[in-house]
Homo-oligomer: A and B are copies of this chain.
């Protein structure tokens, strides 16, 4: 049996579940102003790998949790990821005209609508969670824990902290420590939220939760280092930006701070640590292990 084709099949399965749920989460109405939904849907549909929600589903399922219970949280995380990309692309931020190979949100809908569409997606993430919790019967403890994990990782001490550092550090050199902190926040926090929301809803024991936190931290780091390496090497990066654009624009990346060779060693180290962290789950964690390799080996 080919492990790789098995992985692809399973990933595709999760991807379809996520895409269908996202599609039906933004129901348009015909009242005035409904055009905000077009701007929200444009970026949400421009999809990509859906790594974060796939992680949530996989972790929850590995622990014996139900897909329907984790799905609203998984979609919420993808909405938060999408809003952050829309706002990141704005002229006042990274000023990117393209995202994942298509014109960025503000190039299609204008800056004002892009700001509002981002706001609306962040808000919708929590609408989705609220609506799920209202309908859910029984104990809400796991839901509340998952919501708190998502909110705290997405906010001023998580993802937004990383964006703040990124904005304020352009064209000045960062120490290795602060570079790592920035990326742990900017990319790592939401990957962390995805894995740990899955852990909450799946009902992880304390030791399992800690192992998954270790796994999440390491794949988050691996994800960012790989991005930086691809950016320098000249493949198209995850954003569909011209190659080398981050390095050229004076951004601090693993490749510019450490050099390619050392960055590659760091990547291998993070992937190995992520895989090690899964030891307590044995064979059940096969898919999560494969995700760590996939993050290392991907070309976009």
Say which residue of B111, B134, B167, B181 sits within 8 Å of A92 (CB atoms): B111
Contact B118 A119 (CB under 8 A): yes
Name the one of B34, B90, B115, B156 contacting A37, with C-beta atoms under 8 angstroms: B156
Give the most central of A116, A152, A155: most B CB within 10 Å.
A116
Binary contact track A130-145/B, C-beta < 8 Å → 1, others 0: 1101100000100011
- Chain B CB within 10 Å — which of A32, A84, A111 has the most? A32
**CB-CB contacts of A98-140 with B at 8 A, as 1s and 0s?**
0000000000001111011011101110110011011000001
Asked, given contacts A93-B115, A157-B29, A182-B33, whether A144 binds B140 with beta carbons under 8 Å apart, the answer is: yes
A168 at the B interface (CB under 8 A): yes
- Chain B residues whose C-beta falls within 8 Å of the C-beta of A152 in the assembled complex: 127, 130-131
B92, B124, B154: the one within 8 Å of A123 (CB):
B154
- A127, chain B: closest CB distance, angstroms: 4
A26 to B292, CA, bound (A): 36
Stretch at the interface among A158-166, A204-212, A223-231: A158-166
Tell me the A153-191 residues at the B interface (CB within 8 Å).
154-157, 160-165, 167-168, 178, 181-182, 185
Q: Which residue of B lies closest to A167 (CB)?
A: B112
Interface residue count for A (Cβ, 8 Å)? 56
Closest residue of chain B to A28, judged by CB? B156
How many angstroms between the C-alpha atoms of A134 and B33 in the bound complex?
36
Verify B148–A144 contact, CB threshold 8 A.
no
CA distance A115 to B162 in the complex (A): 14
Q: State whether the Cβ of A265 lies closer than 8 Å to any Cβ in chain B.
A: no
Residues of B within 8 A of A93 (CB): 112, 115
Instruction: Quote the shortest CB–CB distance from A184 to chain B (angstroms).
Output: 11
- With beta carbons under 8 angstroms apart, the residue of B119, B130, B133 that contacts A87 is B119
**Contact assessment for A151 and B123 in the assembled complex, using a CB-CB cutoff below 8 Å:** yes
Closest 7 CB pairs of A and B: A92-B111, A130-B148, A127-B151, A33-B165, A123-B155, A120-B156, A36-B164
